[in-house]
Amino acid sequence: MEPDASSAAAAQNPNPNPSTGPPPISAYYQTRAEHHAVVSSDWLAHAAAAASLPPSSDAADADAASDAAALLSPGSNGGGGGVIEEFNFWRRKPEAAEAVAAIMALAAVIRSSRATTMMELEIELKKASDKLKSWDATSISLSAACDLFMRFVTRTSHLEHEKFDAAKSRLIERGEKFGEISLKARKTIAMLSQDFISDGCTILVHGYSRVVLEVLKLAASNRKLFRVLCTEGRPDRTGLRMSNELAALGIPVKALIDSAVAYSMDEVDMVFVGADGVVESGGIINMMGTYQIALVAHSMNKPVYVAAESYKFARLYPLDQKDMTPAHRPIDFGVPIPAGVEVETSARDYTPPQYLTLLLTDLGVLTPSVVSDELIQLYL
């Protein structure tokens, strides 16, 4: 017996109706997928060049090729299913970030489309893009990845190809290239970050970040001696997950309660954090607690390095903590909350650029002001 429509919708998005009841919990914080965002129109060219950096070893090259092959294997629906189903298929792949899942789902829409003109195809893609964005309206990743793909559609249809079939093939190729580059981005960042990690240093990390983990993993494989202080990352304990992964790699790690950051900062030589998004000011949006860590580090003259893939650069300009689309997550204090007590469920905060030292990206090592200049000029 086929499930009813409401059951199917719940399976696609565990919180499909944010307009009623208590503040909705962002689907991102239920699935722990990564947030990504739009960069520039020539991002692929720059990122492709960065991704072509020689690997540190033959084994690394083989790993990258294996990862790319796994990511780019045909989707479960072969392009014939709905865009949400296709998105969910790619999202379940261990190495596929949310931006890549959205791009692959839209590429599948192109493959299965019966449109005969670019105008028809753009309309069809716009509908699919809007459907993906509505799956989780709080997700920086979904919105930005869909916008990036639509920019490629506009640029291709009006500037590059005269024949529809050639344009359609090019769009599919670009979508798949985006996925391939996204995998190599973390490895490129890890290589560029090694000069910042010295023997005997102590590094503070916050929560779980796949790109930060890649940086530390490569440093350990290069036989660098360092230790890590890792916050617990409440309420979903992502920091404890990070601690477990680091310990499994043989890296000395000490777990901290989130409120012990200032207490422990005098032991720290540098802070490494990831980012949900890098915004036009050069600041970052990341999991709750990043801002206060940066404030403490700045006050004690400790460098704060942000490891972020270049496709996380977003066309956003928050001025304060409340100037962002709210994203909520469940909070479990472990004890009953008294009746009438309000609970803050915001999941992320904004760290202004003046508290960040450098951004380590697959396009190179950037200062926050460089990020701001490039993005502002792009969208004038």
Given a contact cutoff of 8 angstroms between Cβ atoms, the answer to whether 285 and 324 are in contact is yes
- Judge whether residue 271 has pLDDT over 80: yes
Tens of pLDDT, residue by residue over 195-248, are 999 999 999 999 899 899 999 999 999 999 999 999 998 888 889 999 999 999
Amino acid at 47: A
Mark out the alpha helices in the chain (DSSP H runs).
5-12, 27-31, 43-51, 58-71, 83-91, 98-112, 118-135, 140-155, 164-193, 210-221, 238-248, 261-264, 290-299, 368-378
Tens of pLDDT, residue by residue over 319-349, are 778 777 777 777 777 788 888 888 887 888 8
Confidence at residue 161, expressed as pLDDT on a 0 to 100 scale: 52
Tens of pLDDT, residue by residue over 54-102, are 444 444 444 544 544 444 454 544 444 588 888 888 878 766 677 778 8
Amino acid at 325: T
Confidence at residue 152, expressed as pLDDT on a 0 to 100 scale: 65
Confidence at residue 41, expressed as pLDDT on a 0 to 100 scale: 42
Burial class (CB in 10 A: 0-12, 13-18, 19+), 12: middle
Average pLDDT along the chain:
76
Domain spanning 188-379: CATH superfamily:
Translation initiation factor eif-2b; domain 2 (3.40.50.10470)
Given a contact cutoff of 8 angstroms between Cβ atoms, the answer to whether 173 and 130 are in contact is no
Each domain of the chain, given as residue ranges in start order, spans 3-42, 59-182, 188-379
Q: 25 falls in which pLDDT band (50, 70, 90)?
A: very low
Tens of pLDDT, residue by residue over 152-176, are 666 655 545 567 777 777 777 777 7
Angle between helices 164-193 and 140-155 (to 10 degrees): 130
% of the chain exceeding 70 in pLDDT: 71
CATH of domain 59-182: 1.20.120
Burial class (CB in 10 A: 0-12, 13-18, 19+), 288: buried
Confidence at residue 289, expressed as pLDDT on a 0 to 100 scale: 92
